[in-house]
């Protein structure tokens, strides 16, 4: 495995670390049901930090896109996998990465509006920012399910990862989705390290059998 391939594989683990770091840095923000006065007061005190955090969110988003590319390469290098599952994994990772960028953008927007927009506008922007997480969560769920299916079809990763990824990806779309997402993030970090330290199994060469002894049918 080339050093560059290992670096790309490790972007998954770095994504998890940076994602958690940004959210710990941001801390708790106003709920969607909080009053306009509370929203205005909060962002007046913390708009600089939240603005910077919104830009910082682009870092894990970019890392997720890089890891998606590494995952595609890993799945396509092994034999017996489904092209559809691999393509779906790439689509899910791309949607999740873009969704995280959108989430960061909404944080920037609401922090920039602080001190310039009305209380009602601030409250609306806060609700939008709190609910702009959906594309990221949905894309992440697709990434988990598709990667799990492809893993079970190939020798790209330990089968245990596939058995865990598929149900976690499905649970992301349920009321317990947040907990499934956290578990899926941990699984992604482990998968990333495995990809970096274990080279992929080589693709088995295609064997073409030509039955020379079988007579050819000659049209009458």
pLDDT in tens, 9-52: 999 999 999 999 998 988 888 888 889 999 999 988 888 998 99
Q: How confident is the model at residue 77, as a pLDDT?
A: 66
The pLDDT assigned to 11 comes to 95
Q: Residues 89, 143: contact at Cβ < 8 Å?
A: yes
In three-state secondary structure terms, 145 is helix
H helix count then E strand count, the chain = 8, 0
pLDDT number for residue 78: 61
Q: Which of 17, 5, 7, 2 is nearest to 189 (CA)?
A: 17
Higher pLDDT, 117 or 205: 117
First to last CA, the chain: 57
> Residues near 14 by Cβ (< 8 Å), separated by ≥ 6?
63, 192
pLDDT higher than 70, residue 210 = no
The pTM for the full model equals 0.84
Per-residue model confidence (pLDDT) at position 202: 57
Closest CA to 68 of 17, 155, 142: 142
The answer to whether residues 169 and 149 touch, using CB atoms and an 8 Å cutoff, is no
Q: 105 falls in which pLDDT band (50, 70, 90)?
A: very high
Q: Say how many residues make up the chain.
A: 220
For residue 196, pLDDT beyond 70: yes
What does R_g of the chain's alpha carbons equal in angstroms? 23
Parse the chain into domains and list their residue ranges: 3-197
Given a cut of 90, is residue 59 above it in pLDDT?
yes
Kindly report each contact of residues 202-209 with a partner whose C-beta sits within 8 Å and lies 24 or more positions away, as own/partner. 202/77, 203/77, 203/78, 203/79, 204/79
How high is the pLDDT of residue 206? 45
What is the distance, to the nearest Å, from the Cα of residue 49 to the centroid of all Cα atoms in its chain?
A: 25
The answer to whether 38 touches 93, Cβ cutoff 8 Å, is no
From the list 174, 150, 18, 144, the residue with the least C-alpha distance to 74 is: 150
Residue 182: pLDDT band with limits 50, 70, 90? very high
């Amino acid at each position: 495995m080339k050093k560059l391939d290992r670096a790309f594989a490790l972007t998954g683990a770095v994504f998890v670390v940076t994602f958690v770091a940004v959210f710990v840095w941001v801390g708790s923000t106003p709920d969607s049901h909080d009053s306009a006065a509370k929203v205005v007061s909060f962002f007046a005190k913390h708009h600089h930090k939240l603005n910077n955090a919104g830009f910082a969110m682009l870092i894990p988003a970019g890392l997720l896109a890089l890891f998606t590319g590494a995952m595609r390469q890993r799945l396509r290098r092994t034999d017996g996998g489904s092209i559809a599952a691999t393509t779906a994994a790439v689509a899910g990772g791309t949607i999740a990465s873009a969704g995280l960028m959108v989430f960061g953008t909404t944080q920037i927007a609401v922090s920039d509006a602080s001190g310039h927009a009305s209380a009602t506008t601030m409250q609306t922007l806060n609700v939008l920012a709190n609910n702009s997480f959906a594309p990221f969560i949905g894309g992440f769920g697709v990434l988990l399910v598709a990667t799990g299916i492809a893993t079970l079809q190939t020798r790209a990763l330990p089968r245990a990862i596939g058995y865990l990824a598929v149900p976690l990806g499905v649970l992301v779309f349920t009321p317990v989705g947040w907990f499934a997402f956290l578990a899926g993030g941990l699984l992604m970090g482990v998968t990333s390290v495995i990809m970096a330290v274990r080279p992929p199994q080589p693709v088995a060469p295609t064997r073409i059998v030509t039955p020379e002894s079988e007579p050819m049918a000659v049209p009458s």
